[in-house]
Amino acid sequence: MAARRRIDIAEGRAALAAWRAGEVPRAVTAMAVRFTLEELSARVPGNSVEVRVPPFGVTQCIAGPRHTRGTPPNVVECDAGTWLALVTGQTNWADAVERGAVAASGLRADLSEQLPL
Protein backbone atom coordinates (compact mmCIF):
# COMPACT_ATOMS: atom_id res chain seq x y z
CA MET A 1 0.00 0.00 0.00
CA ALA A 2 1.34 3.39 -0.97
CA ALA A 3 1.89 5.96 1.75
CA ARG A 4 -0.82 8.57 2.04
CA ARG A 5 0.50 11.98 1.08
CA ARG A 6 -0.39 14.98 3.18
CA ILE A 7 1.99 17.38 1.47
CA ASP A 8 1.63 18.18 -2.20
CA ILE A 9 4.71 16.87 -4.01
CA ALA A 10 5.41 20.18 -5.77
CA GLU A 11 5.13 22.11 -2.48
CA GLY A 12 7.36 19.58 -0.71
CA ARG A 13 10.02 19.79 -3.41
CA ALA A 14 9.87 23.59 -3.28
CA ALA A 15 10.34 23.54 0.51
CA LEU A 16 13.29 21.17 0.17
CA ALA A 17 14.85 23.36 -2.53
CA ALA A 18 14.38 26.44 -0.34
CA TRP A 19 16.06 24.66 2.59
CA ARG A 20 19.00 23.72 0.38
CA ALA A 21 19.32 27.35 -0.74
CA GLY A 22 19.88 28.65 2.78
CA GLU A 23 18.13 30.23 5.77
CA VAL A 24 14.41 29.52 5.75
CA PRO A 25 11.54 29.99 8.19
CA ARG A 26 10.76 27.15 10.59
CA ALA A 27 7.55 26.35 8.68
CA VAL A 28 9.52 25.69 5.49
CA THR A 29 11.94 23.42 7.33
CA ALA A 30 8.98 21.57 8.84
CA MET A 31 7.41 21.07 5.41
CA ALA A 32 10.71 19.84 3.95
CA VAL A 33 11.13 17.33 6.79
CA ARG A 34 7.56 16.06 6.55
CA PHE A 35 7.75 15.80 2.77
CA THR A 36 10.98 13.78 2.90
CA LEU A 37 9.58 11.48 5.59
CA GLU A 38 6.58 10.85 3.34
CA GLU A 39 8.93 10.24 0.42
CA LEU A 40 10.97 7.74 2.44
CA SER A 41 7.89 5.76 3.44
CA ALA A 42 6.64 5.84 -0.17
CA ARG A 43 9.95 4.50 -1.50
CA VAL A 44 10.50 1.83 1.17
CA PRO A 45 7.09 1.02 2.63
CA GLY A 46 6.77 -1.03 5.77
CA ASN A 47 6.52 -0.84 9.51
CA SER A 48 9.74 -2.28 10.88
CA VAL A 49 11.70 0.99 11.36
CA GLU A 50 10.45 4.18 12.94
CA VAL A 51 12.18 7.37 11.79
CA ARG A 52 11.77 10.36 14.12
CA VAL A 53 12.69 13.97 13.37
CA PRO A 54 11.39 15.90 16.37
CA PRO A 55 9.46 18.08 16.57
CA PHE A 56 8.45 17.90 12.92
CA GLY A 57 7.52 14.35 12.12
CA VAL A 58 7.76 10.59 12.33
CA THR A 59 7.21 7.78 9.87
CA GLN A 60 7.50 4.05 9.65
CA CYS A 61 9.24 2.35 6.76
CA ILE A 62 11.07 -0.75 5.56
CA ALA A 63 9.34 -4.09 5.23
CA GLY A 64 9.74 -6.55 8.06
CA PRO A 65 8.18 -7.39 11.39
CA ARG A 66 5.44 -4.92 12.30
CA HIS A 67 5.72 -3.06 15.58
CA THR A 68 2.45 -2.37 17.43
CA ARG A 69 3.06 -1.42 21.08
CA GLY A 70 5.61 0.32 23.26
CA THR A 71 9.01 1.47 22.10
CA PRO A 72 9.80 0.17 18.61
CA PRO A 73 12.82 -2.16 18.35
CA ASN A 74 14.22 -0.26 15.34
CA VAL A 75 14.38 3.51 15.75
CA VAL A 76 16.26 6.25 13.91
CA GLU A 77 16.20 9.75 15.40
CA CYS A 78 17.92 13.01 14.50
CA ASP A 79 17.34 16.74 14.28
CA ALA A 80 15.86 18.42 11.20
CA GLY A 81 19.14 19.78 9.87
CA THR A 82 20.82 16.39 10.04
CA TRP A 83 17.84 14.66 8.45
CA LEU A 84 17.68 17.08 5.54
CA ALA A 85 21.44 16.87 5.05
CA LEU A 86 21.12 13.07 4.90
CA VAL A 87 18.25 13.02 2.41
CA THR A 88 19.91 15.58 0.14
CA GLY A 89 23.31 13.88 0.22
CA GLN A 90 25.09 16.72 2.00
CA THR A 91 26.22 14.22 4.62
CA ASN A 92 26.38 10.45 4.59
CA TRP A 93 24.85 7.95 6.97
CA ALA A 94 28.07 6.54 8.43
CA ASP A 95 29.51 9.98 9.22
CA ALA A 96 26.28 11.17 10.85
CA VAL A 97 26.06 8.05 13.03
CA GLU A 98 29.75 8.17 13.94
CA ARG A 99 29.61 11.77 15.15
CA GLY A 100 26.40 11.10 17.12
CA ALA A 101 24.12 13.26 14.99
CA VAL A 102 21.89 10.23 14.37
CA ALA A 103 20.71 7.81 17.03
CA ALA A 104 20.00 4.45 15.40
CA SER A 105 19.00 1.41 17.42
CA GLY A 106 17.95 -2.02 16.29
CA LEU A 107 19.11 -4.46 13.63
CA ARG A 108 17.12 -2.79 10.84
CA ALA A 109 17.88 0.83 11.80
CA ASP A 110 20.50 1.39 9.11
CA LEU A 111 19.21 3.74 6.40
CA SER A 112 22.45 3.88 4.41
CA GLU A 113 20.82 1.97 1.52
CA GLN A 114 17.84 4.36 1.42
CA LEU A 115 19.64 7.70 1.75
CA PRO A 116 20.09 10.08 0.09
CA LEU A 117 16.62 10.14 -1.44
| Predicted model pTM | 0.91
> pLDDT tens digit string along 73-116?
899 999 999 999 999 999 999 999 999 999 999 989 999 999 99
Query: Cβ distance 117 to 32 under 8 Å?
Result: no
